[in-house]
Chains A and B, each alone.
Chain A
Amino acid sequence: MLRARISSRWIVGLVPLSAAVVLLGARTTKPGRATAPSRADTSSAQLIARGRYQVLSHGCGGCHGGLDDPSAHGWLAGVETDDQVFEVGACTPLHPDTKPCLKTYPRNLTPDNETGLGRFTERQIFNALRYGLRPEETPDVEITSTTPGQGNFPMHPRYLAPPMPWTDWRHMDDSELWAIAAYLKRAVKPVHNRVPESEGPPDFWASAYTKLAGPYPAKPFPTENERALDSSGSDK
């Protein structure tokens, strides 16, 4: 089943929070200023269409509901059945008797007020995708640093639960993340579905993500693992 395949892929990557999951960037990097696209950049319809394309092509529905079909029941409405729940850590089926085994629940991404994203701003959703910060714990402010306590980056960051791959998706352009936020807030119908809170370490994954931090933004091309092209565009 598709969901099982996705689950095992991410869980293998997360046990035991190995470097397979690229984690929060070097503290010294300075991300670009994140501001909402102006109306001149794109029309609202184009913005929504881009957001929908990003949501579909990044498989959001694979975990958050509806798989790849926006017309499916439960599209982005969060966990509705047990087979949508993730088990993170050393637990079944690989190590049934070991601890900890943490259950995480893909949340309701529809704009329902009490159970979804309805009360979070597009900027809070942007900050969640770019910095992995839980929107409910992070003020509606522009963040200009990844150093705790600086540039509105929280002193005690609370991160989204695995396997949400924000560490990968934060590398998307600002405009793409804003488009996703716009699609989720403006173009999806609210579904009232109360998803259980995800389990996790008491620091909300902060120590895990801090230890395994990769640089953000990514180091400039080419790194030692990459080959530069010569001026003609061919391999050296």
Chain B
Amino acid sequence: MPPGSTYVYTFRIPAGYAGTYWYHPHPDARSSYQVTKGLFGAMLVRARDDPLAALGIPDKVLILSDNRFDAHGAISFPDSESLQAEVDLENGREGNVLMVNGQVMPTIQIPPGGMQRWRIIDASASRVYRLSVPGAQLIHVGSDGGLFAHALPVHDVTVANSERVEVLVQGGSTPGERMQLVDLPYDRYMPQTRPANWDSTRSLLSLVVSHAPAAPPIRVPTLLRDVPPLDTTHVAEHRVLVMSQGLIDGKKMDANRVDLHGRLGTTEIWEIQNVVGMDHPFHLHGFRFQVLDRDGVPEPFPSWKDVVNVPGHSSVRIVVHFDDFPGKWMYHCHILDHEDEGMMGILELK
């Protein structure tokens, strides 16, 4: 969009797409820069029959981002010829200041015994978070495209670039009790550019039990919603997509080239192989998909995704149904610096 201009998007949200989404600009070779400058936000689609809202569980949206600042507090970018620029190109730009909703270490209050639903968005250019709240119960209830069928108690949950997770957090029972949402070490790096402090645990926010009246106990329903697996008995195309470093299928993005041709109304299975030693989060525009298996290990239950992290030297199979929306759609690595470098392709649906 040219500076000073306006564009009105109009779109229809199909039934069953309730979930946590986010938006950011996607200009050629400038996504990382513009997101780093703060151009992103959350977008929630709520279901009329949301089972957790029906129980009175309050929502919190937590947008995770990181940034790097100079001595004057300005957002700092490395000189393009510097080694740091090369490291940023390899890892994706990581900041040393971690923020939740643009704040460093904010505090969230929770009544004694209370439960909250956190909708967490990784809006960082490249940082992958492994989230935990030591001392609190964490229940994983949803992903990019909304709730799972069943709640899943977890110790920690990993959220890669552009991924979303929904978790229920049960705080403590004693007023004044403090806990922290922390980012545990996650090794997504090449050894050459792995940050020296990659294995440190970082605090993201404080969760404090308030002096409010104790919250009534909540029983999380055993069935959150129906998430039927996509039908894989009639598959029009089986494709293999190969991610290496900055490349998909050995090529850089060309806006004038169509890499994949698909047909509306069909179902496809994509095997996404990562043939290098660092993680690449794969994102498909316009469509939600389900993960079938990771390195041959079947996914335990279906869930709706639009980003899937593919760890180094591994593969993930996804199934996608192209129900509508003809035209050209991008797929890319969601490390924004990799996307800017052309780690992207075009799917055309007719």
Q: Which residues of A contact B (CB under 8 A)?
A: 113-115, 118-121, 124, 134-137, 139-140, 156, 158, 194, 196-204
A136 touches B313 (CB 8 A): no
Q: Which residues of B contact A (CB under 8 A)?
A: 83, 86-87, 89-90, 190-193, 242, 244-247, 250-252, 273-278, 312-315
Kindly list chain A residues whose C-beta atoms are within 8 Å of the C-beta of B191. 196-200
- From the candidates A136, A196, A199, A203, name the one contacting B276 in the complex (CB within 8 A): A136
B217–chain A nearest beta-carbon distance, Å:
47
Known A-B contacts A136-B275, A136-B276, A137-B245; A156 and B89 likewise in contact (beta carbons under 8 Å): yes
A75–chain B nearest beta-carbon distance, Å:
20
Kindly list chain B residues whose C-beta atoms are within 8 Å of the C-beta of A203. 83, 86, 192
- The CA-CA distance from A196 to B312 in the complex, in Å, is 10
- The CA-CA distance from A199 to B90 in the complex, in Å, is 14
User: A119-B250, A137-B245 provided; 12 other pairs, C-beta below 8 A?
Assistant: A115-B313, A119-B273, A124-B250, A139-B250, A139-B251, A140-B251, A197-B276, A198-B191, A198-B192, A199-B191, A201-B192, A203-B86
Known A-B contacts A139-B247, A139-B251; A202 and B275 likewise in contact (beta carbons under 8 Å): no
Kindly list chain B residues whose C-beta atoms are within 8 Å of the C-beta of A156. 86, 89
- The CA-CA distance from A114 to B274 in the complex, in Å, is 7
A94–chain B nearest beta-carbon distance, Å:
22
- The CA-CA distance from A194 to B190 in the complex, in Å, is 14
- The CA-CA distance from A204 to B89 in the complex, in Å, is 12
A114 touches B314 (CB 8 A): yes
A113 touches B273 (CB 8 A): yes
The chain B residue sitting closest to A104, CB to CB, is B191
Kindly list chain A residues whose C-beta atoms are within 8 Å of the C-beta of B247. 136-137, 139
Can you name 29 A-B pairs with beta carbons within 8 Å?
A114-B275, A119-B275, A120-B244, A134-B245, A136-B244, A136-B275, A137-B244, A137-B245, A137-B246, A139-B247, A139-B252, A140-B250, A140-B251, A194-B313, A196-B277, A197-B192, A197-B277, A197-B312, A198-B191, A199-B191, A200-B192, A201-B192, A202-B83, A202-B86, A202-B87, A202-B90, A203-B83, A203-B86, A204-B192
The chain B residue sitting closest to A206, CB to CB, is B86
- The CA-CA distance from A198 to B246 in the complex, in Å, is 18
- The CA-CA distance from A121 to B247 in the complex, in Å, is 13
- The CA-CA distance from A194 to B192 in the complex, in Å, is 18
B279–chain A nearest beta-carbon distance, Å:
12
Kindly list chain A residues whose C-beta atoms are within 8 Å of the C-beta of B89. 156
A228–chain B nearest beta-carbon distance, Å:
43
- The CA-CA distance from A197 to B245 in the complex, in Å, is 13
B78–chain A nearest beta-carbon distance, Å:
12
B192 touches A199 (CB 8 A): yes
